[in-house]
Amino acid sequence: MAIEEIPGDPRFFERQGPFSLHDLFDGLKCQIKDLEENGKKIFTGVAPLQAAKADEIAFLDNRRYIPLIKNTSAGAVIISPEFQEHLPSSAVAIVTEHPYVLWAKIVARFFATMPKEALIHPTAVISPNAKIGKNVSIGAFSLVGDNAVIGDGTVLANHVSIGNGVVLGEKCRIYPHVSVECALLGNGVALHTGARIGHPGFGFAISQEGFHNIPQIGRVIIGDYTEIGANTAVDRGSVRDTVIGFGCRIDNLVQIAHNVRIGNCVVVVSQAGISGSTEIGDFVQVAAQAGLTGHLKIGSGARIGAQCGVMSNLDEKAEVIGSPALPFREFFRNVATLRRLSRRSGHGQKSEV
């Protein structure tokens, strides 16, 4: 079945514009080829290189896609200086050192993903003791508990549960089927579908009598402009708070255990797990399916590879991969050594990796 690509399908996204090239990029850091002549050209949207039309904008920041640019019909392309020579003359060059960042800003100018008009659905259940700010939207069958605070401009989608005493800052976006309890959220926080914030942590004592659940009396605190993906779980602290800093990006299906402390601008990719009381510095990157054991200290700027098993502290800007985790160079040196030994024994095959 042939499927037509429709970037920004109007059934799902509200399109803004059209815009002139000059208005669209006004105030943004870039150089537009022949701005005086091309600045008046009108553009209606964005699209990938292979599907873009003459009134759409595409981008290129990866050399793997250079073959696509030669035949693109895009009217303008956001591109880095090193790839500019490959751009056909039919497309206006919009040159920047950071094409992907500029692309994100342009897409945001064309499309709005949340409703602008503040609406509270008649099926929403809101405690009379809750404090609801200005221009707040609350979707169908959502619940706002006693003494909860919802900041100005925040949007709660359908089937959202906001527990007693929870605080949401201004302009938060809470998507369907999210639950939040025992938590304080800053401004501009986004919680995607099915996220679970502030439920009890996985804490229990063991005796001959069996398991004894330890009351989890801490909170979750999430800094401004952090985004948490679908079906991710963030446990509240046992006694200390679980804290996620400013501007973090937590992917789908991530587990963050009780008492974890995550710094600012940290990235955690899908299916990673961070065990209790581990502390992560600023600007750390944790790749997919990595596992961090409990009570660790991860230095700022560290990079943890996919499927990595981290069992000891990491220094600032450490780069590790493998399980147990090893520095990048040591890991790949070990892999190369094993391959050589395997080939010598007659059991190995040459690999292209």
Q: Which residues are catalytic?
A: 258
Locate tokens 């200290």: which residue? 297
Report how far residue 129's alpha carbon sits from residue 283's, in angstroms, rounded to the nearest whole number.
39
Who contacts 40 (Cβ-Cβ below 8 Å, separation ≥6)? 20, 21, 22
Who contacts 218 (Cβ-Cβ below 8 Å, separation ≥6)? 182, 201, 236, 237, 238, 239, 240, 241, 242, 258, 259
Name the DSSP letter for residue 313.
-
Report how far residue 235's alpha carbon sits from residue 304's, in angstroms, rounded to the nearest whole number.
22
Strands 319-321 and 326-327: antiparallel
For the chain, how long is the longest CA-to-CA vector? 81
Q: Which amino acid is at 283?
A: F
Q: Which amino acid is at 97?
A: E
Helix (H, G, I), strand (E, B) or coil at 90: coil
Cα-based distances in Å from 295 to 237, 266, 276, 325: 13, 18, 6, 16
